Amino acid sequence: PASSTPHDRIIMSLKDNATWKAVKPFMNGGLSGMGATCIIQPLDIVKVRLQLGATGGPVSVAANIIKNEGFGTLYTGLSAGLLRQATYTTARLGIHAKIVDFLKEQNKGAPLPLVQKAGAGLAAGGLGAIFGSPADLSLIRMQADGTLPAAERRNYTGVGHALTDIVKKEGVGGLFVGASTTAVRAMALNMGMLASNDQAKEMMKDNGITGFPATLGASAIAGFFASFFSLPFDYVKTQLQKQKPLPDGTLPFRGFGDCVAKTMAAGGPLKFYTGFPTYYVRIAPHAMFTLIILDQINATQKAMGA
């Protein structure tokens, strides 16, 4: 129309653009994950330090990091964390949205049963983790560096340095150390997070709770289940990714099963929940902020007609 503004014409062109429709869920997912990471990053490094043997509670560990290594250390690995979200979360939330849309079509618009929601979360988490594995490995190594003796530190200057150093010393395959464990952990986390979020939203809607209160409540429930299902896998993943060769050249753990068996023998099943309070405080808010930001982006785009 002659009276339409350039802004209106852009929105109309996006609304009917097949490429935009295909890209939108991936872009929105990546942006929501990166926004959440900027807020949560300090909790992540405290979680890693606790899992690698730091003593005391989350507050005392954070205080010691600031005292001994400076406040900036709490943001160690932010570049790798953002790259991880730009790959892993872009993929997992985009894939999840596509799977859910497909299942809704198959169900002729009816609500998905919980088993289908869980399946969508499992598939999205596993596939997304493959894309994010190199960045995830870089993040773990950068955050764990401060726990090593000075002579053994890798001293990465950023995610680019970490990635190139890993390829140089371990080959391209080195970028995917612990990738299978990362994928299993991601499947558990996303099944807990995405399935429970969708289920909680439906239950709240049935009880007349909508809008931001529903988003907040559902994301809090999603955060708990994401933490509960994924911590054992996260613990094993961290042990595998940070291990260094022993004097005889072998690694402490041969793989996922070996790490699980040795951890079980050393500390029993509760050993896998080492640092659960910190892990929950780190995972639950990240899941919550990711889902809240994602809902706000989607709502804004819907209001704009895009």
| Higher pLDDT among residues 282 and 254, named by residue | 254
Q: What is the pLDDT of residues 110-159, one digit of tens each?
A: 889 999 999 999 999 999 998 888 888 888 888 788 778 888 888 888 88
Dihedral over Cα of 276, 278, 281, 286: its sign: negative
Which of 19, 24, 3, 84 lies closest to 302, judged by CA? 24
Q: What is the pLDDT of residues 93-107, one digit of tens each?
A: 999 999 999 999 999
Once rounded to an integer, what is the mean pLDDT over residues 263-279? 90
Phi/psi for 155 (5° steps) reads: 55, 50
| Higher pLDDT among residues 265 and 234, named by residue | 265
Which of 128, 264, 252, 277 lies closest to 189, judged by CA? 128
First vs last Cα of the chain: how many Å apart?
18
Q: What angle do CA 235, 28, 5 make, to 5 degrees?
A: 165
- Does the model's pTM come out above 0.85? no
Cα 206–chain centre separation: 29
pLDDT at 2 over 70: no
Q: What is the pLDDT of residues 62-80, one digit of tens each?
A: 999 999 999 988 888 788 7
Which of 42, 138, 154 lies closest to 83, judged by CA? 138
